[in-house]
Amino acid sequence: MARRIVAFVDVLGFKSLVENVPQPTLVEIYRRLQDAARLQTARPVFPEDHRRFDEDAYYEDAEIQRARVVNVVMASDSIVVYASGDSHKDAMAVAAAVRGLIVAGFRDGVALRGAIAIGELDEVDLADDAVNRQNWTARFSGLVGLGLVRAYELEEGANWSGAVIHPDLVAHLEATTVVEHAEGPLSALDLFSFIRLAVQTEVPIKRRDSHGEPVIQHETHWAIDWPFLADSVDWRISEQQVVASFASFGRSALSAEVEAKRGETIAFMARAEADAEATQERRRRLWRH
């Protein structure tokens, strides 16, 4: 049994995409998602030669390899990103991958929604099965565990395009010391805040009222600070691109529910800087005391 950091990411509006887009176009969209997932879950590895000392070294694309940082599995509209363990570095790698995926999705006109959790997650592979010993392109293997269930349930309840961090993972990061300081320990959660990887914000969560009817409640949660990446020089995306991702690829007229998701996403994008400043100030006060 392994405890890991795991994220579940969903492609919003995928059913509408499948119904409204020709299959070749759908395949191309999916390939772009696959490429984004590959890039965001691996790091570049450059040749060990004299160029590593050059200030402006040049490498051909064929020379650059990629090393897996976290694992990724894709099936239809679901993307699962998971680490080998549950350290704060594992959490950082998964969070960074999810942040990159969300922004890459907006750039390609696809809105993504996710959640990151901590919990049991095992890779089950029938390695001794006769079928798996054949030269097939697919294997009988899978992922199972409470960590994945927690991530899925939290993701499903969020009424936006973004990624929420499960409270159990927040508590784990809060309790994990990454730097000892004279004024007190710096936790992994402090680090997530200070480098703008995560932010405390109001997240629209779908709940049921006393009559069993669905309602949207704004609750304070930690979430991935994807607007910070979206505002960087290399990743910059506009509000118009985010808006368009909810209505692109031949989708029909937006429903009130989709309009609400889009509105919440834009609202978070607009206030992320202020949320980050408030979050960091709270973390600094807690750290000093």
| 48-62, 93-107, 133-147: range with highest mean pLDDT | 93-107
Q: Cα–Cα distances in Å, from 238 out to 32, 233, 270? A: 19, 12, 11
pTM of the model as a whole: 0.88
Token code pair at residue 61 = 């694309």
The 10s digit of each residue's pLDDT in 5-26 is 999 999 998 888 888 888 998 8
Q: What 3-state DSSP class applies to 131?
A: helix
CATH number for the region 3-44+66-131+139-288 comes to 3.30.70.1230
Assigned token pair, 121:
């997650």
Name the β-bridge partners of 245. Answer: none
Residue 143: helix, strand or coil by DSSP? strand
Q: Work out the pLDDT band at 170, boundaries 50, 70, 90.
A: very high
Place of tokens 């030269």: 135
Calculate the alpha carbon distances from 74 to 62, 160, 220, 281 in Å.
Answer: 25, 21, 30, 38
d(CA 36, CA 23): 20
Confidence of residue 126 (pLDDT cuts 50, 70, 90): low
Range of weakest confidence among 13-17, 34-38, 136-140, 270-274: 136-140
Find out whether 37 and 79 touch, Cβ atoms under 8 Å. yes
pLDDT of residue 178: 87
* 232-249 pLDDT per residue, tens: 998 999 999 999 999 876
Greater model confidence, 158 or 131: 158
For the chain, what percent of residues have pLDDT higher than 90? Answer: 56
Phi, psi (degrees; rounded to nearest 5) at 247? -135, 15
Confidence band (pLDDT; 50, 70, 90) for 186? confident
Find which of 43-52, 100-109, 122-131, 177-186 is predicted with most confidence, using mean pLDDT.
100-109
Average pLDDT estimate for 124-153: 72
Helices (H), 56-204: 88-107, 146-157, 167-175, 188-194
Residue 132 per-residue DSSP state:
G
Which pairing describes strands 141-144 and 186-187: parallel, antiparallel, or unpaired?
A: unpaired
pLDDT of residue 6: 97
pLDDT digit string, tens, across residues 91-104 = 999 999 999 999 99
Mean pLDDT for all residues in the chain: 87
The secondary structure element, H or E, covering residue 72 is: strand 71-75
For residues 179-202, give the mean pLDDT.
88
